[in-house]
Structure 1
Amino acid sequence: MNILLVEDDPQLSRDVGRYLSKAGYGVEYLERGDWAARYLQEHQDVIGCVVLDLGLPYLSGLEVLAGWRRQGISTPVLILTARNSWQERVDGLNAGADDYLGKPFQSEELLARLEALRRRVEQQGQIQLVVDGLILDETKQQVSDGAGMCASLTATEFAMLRLLMQKAGQIVSKQQLLDTTYDWQEEKNENLVEVYIRRLRKKIGQQRIHTYRGQGYLMGKR
């Protein structure tokens, strides 16, 4: 799999790129946000995942990521954030990130997270799930309703929605959603689930995912 590494710290880029190359990944390097925005638009068919620093020159990582998602680019994105910046992590997830990693980090953890994202994408099947008129296309990683709504999903959005649809009629706990989508999450914080549920509701409609306080979420009829 080819990785697009967008980081303006040259030493960190070299160290991470060298480690990922030894692990068998192809690595493309960019140091500016505006360059990254254009590059993925033109090469999304050959880039399997993006490692994106949020503090980039010319165009911030957050702006780059939000732009990709508006264009329907669903390539998995792992953002690099300040270790103690909770708001930065939430902003990144709201913009469409699939995972985050706080700086400083160990290369082994970055590799583990990328492997988890790769497995998540490869495990997507070749079928459609249908629940209450909502259609999840596992081949295209899109969701539609047969009435004109069609939305691309990030890898994490896809994984969560897929679990909810597979368990239609059952309450799915926040912990189940976390366990499905965050194999290597350093902080399996249930607040992250709320971030993704809000994003999914914006795409598929507020009424399709029901909240059961203290229990979890449900799709379909109980």
Structure 2
Amino acid sequence: MARRRLTPVFLLLALVSTGAAALDPGTASRTSREAEISSCLAGEIRTWGDGQDRPAIAPSLQLVYDPAGAPPWFTAAQVTEALRRAAEAWAPCGVPVQVTASAASGPGRVLVRWDDPGARGNFGLADVGRHTLSLGPAAFKLLNERNPRYPATQTLQMVISHELGHLLGLMAHSRRCVDVMSYYDDGKGNRCVARDMSLLKSVPEYRSSLPTACDLERCRAANGR
């Protein structure tokens, strides 16, 4: 049974240690990061080799959100909006994704829930076998305790976008730092890559919160689009 998680635990520690003293991004760094997000150059699609991309779990997906157990600072409307934004951003992949209040059992139904056992200590984890997307209350609680000024809604969006990418068939994690399907290092001293590595510390979170051009290109390839 395949499960894909957002990040290893060491990235959680990196997130909670990010303080308000992070460098204020200048116009040039913002432009460079945005250019990476919106374009995918030849040879830039690289993964950590930790999985094999394949078609989405179904020809179309229906995301059903269960708000039970959500941290009190996340309203049902906020989480639903994050799901809708992710669904819209992944639309160019070609696999329809709908956010709905309910859906009949079927291959495309995905239950989105707050579930620490399901998230396994991470911010989120997609179970492509059980068709669930588990969000981790404990991880978000730790983030709030360690760094209450950190924009948790941005992390929530990134988590949902990332895990939806796994359900759409992107099983390998990207090695391009800016991709929503990336993680920054493998815990063994190997780092992700960026067009300008000096910009990685220019913003608290360099990775995009929505799929990038390279994420979408991989998704289209995995699904034969």
For Structure 1 versus Structure 2, the TM-score category normalised by the shorter chain is under 0.3
Of Structure 1 and Structure 2, the greater helix share is in 1
Of Structure 1 and Structure 2, the greater strand share is in 1
TM-score calculated relative to the size of structure 2: 0.26
Max radius of gyration: which structure? 1
Higher relative contact order (CA 8 A, sep 6+): 2
TM-score calculated relative to the size of structure 1: 0.27
